Structure 1
Amino acid sequence: MSTPDRRDLIADAAISTVATAGLRGLTHRAVDAAAGLPAGSTSYYFRTRSALISACYLRLAELSVADVDRWEADHGRPDLDSAAGALAALLHHWLTAARDRQLARFELSLEATRRPELRADLRTAGLAARSRAAALLAALGAPRPAPAADLLVAWTDGLLYDWLAGAMATSRPLPDETELTPVVRRMLEAALSA
């Protein structure tokens, strides 16, 4: 795997900072420290806090698309069963290894509701997710892939939020792929009939 470029390194450190310290903890200095860079490095690449937050949105979208690309490369043209199993594996990855990314994404999404200048980058990231979901659903035969993708993304976000940050998040174990597969299959079936 190649070494991330400086902008990606900073965005990844900013995402980790948001996941662990929230937006109050997102400062240029904190990101420099988290990335192991000299003081002033983050502000050189991202002059304002808004620019740093925008970098987070775009990097989160890029990483999520890369996750989906790996999933597609591993599974080829899907049928409903393989799509359910593969999407369950992807969700499990997002709930475990990529947990911090999801927590940061939720935090950053809420910030965009309060700061209109951040909405465009959040929208760009959201459109990327919906585009990929629409392509999957079209391959599975959805008669209306775009509205079906909106539903699938919303259900996926709801599931991720509930398991990572919802009221019961700290009092129950995370589901494994076997437990997630039938849930995802029902989500896919519902989206395909929408």
Structure 2
Amino acid sequence: METRQDQALDAAIRVLGTRGSRQLTHRAVDAEAGLPLGSTSNYFRTREALVAGVLDRISQQEHNTWHRLAQELTEVDLEGFTQAVGRLLHRLAGPQRTLTLARQAIFVEATVHPELRELVRTKRDELQSWGAEWLRRLGSTEPVRHFWTLMALLDGLLAHQYIVPDPGFDPTPAVRELLRGMLSTSTSTSTSDSP
């Protein structure tokens, strides 16, 4: 059962993802959630506390998204992983667009708020431990570096799709090409290192 606090956080995500960070106020969240005036500030006394709460809520929802991705992967192979990542990007660019844009708005805020930057770093480390493990299973000899290279591609593809929407958006070929290049480099490096 969703609590009022959850309702406020989900409303804050909608405000951030549809109107931008300058519009994120306690009053705007109350209105978006249909809560009595002052409800959001009862849970989050400051804007900084509200933004931190939103980051946690986004992380929970994205964790669930990544977990669903993992469940889709019955085998650990390059093509299966590529297809699953392509489906994930479609969700992030479509049904989860507002959530993704809210996350990006928080990242922008983190550039000027050191305490928020630290929270983002913690969430980033959690994601890295999960994602790097998948790349290690696919044969990467540098799974952490390869994971962040993949994430940079995904962020770029999403940003481009948001700014220049393409109804035929298909990120799968770019993901496949990057993974093949990174993993073939890993394979050739590990082969050339062997005696």
- From 82, 89, 92, the equivalent of 2:90 is 92
User: Unpaired runs of 5+ in structure 1?
Assistant: none
**Counterpart position of 1:180:** 171
Residues 135 and 143 in structure 2, CA contact (< 8 A), matched pair in contact too: yes
1:42-70: CA deviation from partner (whole Å, max 9, x where unpaired)? 11111110011111222212211110111
Structure showing greater Rg: 2
TM-score normalised over the length of structure 1: 0.88
**Residues 23-32 or 130-139, more deviating:** 130-139
Q: Quick one: which amino acid aligns to residue 32 of structure 1? A: D
1:6, CA displacement in angstroms?
Answer: 3.1
**Counterpart position of 1:21:** 19
1:190, CA displacement in angstroms?
Answer: 3.2
1:131, CA displacement in angstroms?
Answer: 2.1
Residue correspondence of structure 1 range 50-89 to structure 2 within 5 A:
50-89=48-87
**Counterpart position of 1:33:** 31
Q: Quick one: which amino acid aligns to residue 94 of structure 1? A: L
TM-score normalised over the length of structure 2: 0.87
**Counterpart position of 2:118:** 120
How high is the sequence identity, in percent, across the aligned residues?
Answer: 38
Structure 1 distance, partners of 2:137, 2:2, is 32
* RMSD of aligned Cα (Å): 1.6
Residues 12 and 29 in structure 2, CA contact (< 8 A), matched pair in contact too: yes
Structure 2 distance, partners of 1:173, 1:81, is 24
Q: Quick one: which amino acid aligns to residue 125 of structure 1? A: K
1:18, CA displacement in angstroms?
Answer: 0.8
Residues 22 and 107 in structure 1, CA contact (< 8 A), matched pair in contact too: yes
Runs (4+) of structure 1 moved beyond 3 Å?
none
After superposition, the Cα gap between the structure-2 partners of 1:4 and 1:186, relative to the gap in structure 1 and judged at 3 Å, is farther
How many residues align? The count is: 185
1:117, CA displacement in angstroms?
Answer: 2.2
SS at match of 2:171: helix
